[in-house]
Structure 1
Amino acid sequence: MLILAIDTSAIASAALLRSTRTDGAAEVLASFASTETNTHAEVLAPAIQGLLAEAGVAGAELDRIVVGVGPGPFTGLRVGIATARALGFAWNVPVEGAVSLDAIAWDVLAAGEAPAQGFTVAIDARRKELYWARYAADGSLDEGPHVSVPGHLPEGPVCGAGAGLYADRLAAAGAPAVERFRDRQPTAASLGASALEKLARGEDLLATTPLYLRESDAKVPAAMQGHTP
């Protein structure tokens, strides 16, 4: 199976992956990940074009596109999901979604460092809050995703960039940051690898409906509310 994975829940990232094994183990053919959290619209499409050229793959050869549906901010998620849907339509390739936090959970499992009691994955949600989800030791999603202040996360180890951002507050709440993963952001390469393993197990992926978890910061001006052009 050949897939294009896209995630824009934090940084912008894309990857081409192939799996020929029954367990879904993936080979990353090419990948891209930005270092910024606010350049998604500018860098994503050129990056995908570059990945296809690097791997010598035409879009119509893909078996599916997998896109991270969040949680994440409105603008970032819209860029990734809209791009995935547009490419799927243009190439006549099915498009499916995956929880973006699954990418970090997959990283933890791939490193062989999943705590026996399970763990939480958290990334920055701004407004002094975190997007988070709780995972079992085998990487299956136990709870979430949610958005809340750091002190409301469940007790136990925390992985992801949110852990590093609020390490002291989390530790005080009994949710210590895992040092190796305290700065980790979701990436398309890990998201795609996680999705391929799920498909190999016969699990379904998600629709491409974004997981915003809260209302947009953008508001209709009071003067325009109720106004019909």
Structure 2
Amino acid sequence: MIILSIDTSQSASVALVDTASGAVLAVEQADDQRRHVEFIGPALVRVLAHEVQPELVVTGIGPGPFTGLRVGIAAGIAVSQARGIPVRGVLSQAALAEEFCRRSEGGGGPVLIAGDARRKEVYFSVYEASDASLKSGPFVAKPAEVADVLADHGYRLEVPGAEVGQSCDRVDITERIGRGFVLYDDVIGASGHPELVDPRAEFLAFFAARSIAAGEELGEPVPEYLREPDAKSAPVRKSHLK
């Protein structure tokens, strides 16, 4: 299947992927985590100039910043409508889980993925390394609260400065990947794979293909917001005019 994939949950990326052969036909990657609006249009033009045309659009649905997610999802819906092809949504951190799964060659265990949620917080989820399936999450919390949130959901995360305890009823987190560990390694530990930082569109396409092959239904392109947007609507003032 030829998939056009878009992710704007962290740094933005667009890719055209032949999932049957594993070939990335075209890819564009932004240099930073902001400027999603300026990036997405020209990137789509360049990627869609490829002679092979997409059969499906897959867009990352977050979690991520409010505005950034809307840019990518709106772009995916626009391409879908213009080309007359379906569009589906996938949790963005599944892209990193998929790439880790591909690199680990079938090794198992829980993988903690943490992204930058700004406001000095992280978005985080637990995935299974052997098949990139979601086990718990996504959540948003301060870095110092991550271990406690995970403990409430049956996982144990060793963090710098904490005493190493034994817990027979919690599963140890064996791997950590994502931008959150780059930003807050002093609080939640360092990533064992510093090359895997942000979700990338091509990883997202391969995850979607894995899900489809397993007979799973992909979701709708609806953003996964874990908190209210930074911008607030202005309050409506009551008029006293008669």
Task: Give, in whole Å, the separation in 1 of the partners of 2:89 and 2:186.
Answer: 33
1:164 to 182, 189, 195: 182
Identity of aligned residues (%): 39
Scaled by the length of structure 2, the TM-score of the pair is 0.82
SS where residue 45 of structure 1 aligns? helix
Amino acid in structure 2 at the alignment position of 1:78: R
| Residues 1:226 and 1:93: Cα distance change in structure 2 (over 3 Å) | farther
Matching of residues 154-193 of structure 1 within 5 Å: 154=150, 155=157, 156=173, 157-171=175-189, 177-181=190-194, 184-193=197-206
- What root-mean-square deviation, in Å, do the aligned CA atoms of Structure 1 and Structure 2 show? 1.8
Partner of 1:135: 127
* Local SS of the residue matching 1:111: helix
1:144 is the counterpart of 2:137 = yes
Correspondences of 1:1-229 after superposition (within 5 Å)? 1-20=1-20, 26-53=22-49, 55-57=50-52, 61-112=53-104, 116-138=108-130, 139-153=132-146, 154=150, 155=157, 156=173, 157-171=175-189, 177-181=190-194, 184-222=197-235, 224=236
- Which structure: larger Rg? 2
8 A Cα contact 1:163 1:182, kept in partner:
no
Q: Distance in 1 between matches of 2:238 and 2:43?
A: 42
Amino acid at match of 2:145: H
Which secondary structure state, in structure 2, belongs to the residue aligned with residue 180 of structure 1? coil
SS of the equivalent of 1:78 reads: helix
Deviations for 1:14-41, whole angstroms, at most 9, x for unmatched residues? 0001133xxxx63211111111111111
Cα distance change, pair 148–113 in 1 and its aligned pair in 2 (3 A) = farther
Q: Is the 8 A contact 2:4 2:205 kept in 1?
A: yes
The alignment of Structure 1 onto Structure 2 pairs a total of residues equal to 213
Unaligned runs of 5+ in 1: 172-176
TM-score by length of 1: 0.87
| Runs of 4+ deviating beyond 2 Å | 113-117, 151-154, 224-227
Q: Is the contact made by 2:101 and 2:107 (CA closer than 8 Å) also made in structure 1?
A: no
Question: Unpaired runs of 5+ in structure 2?
Answer: 151-156, 158-172
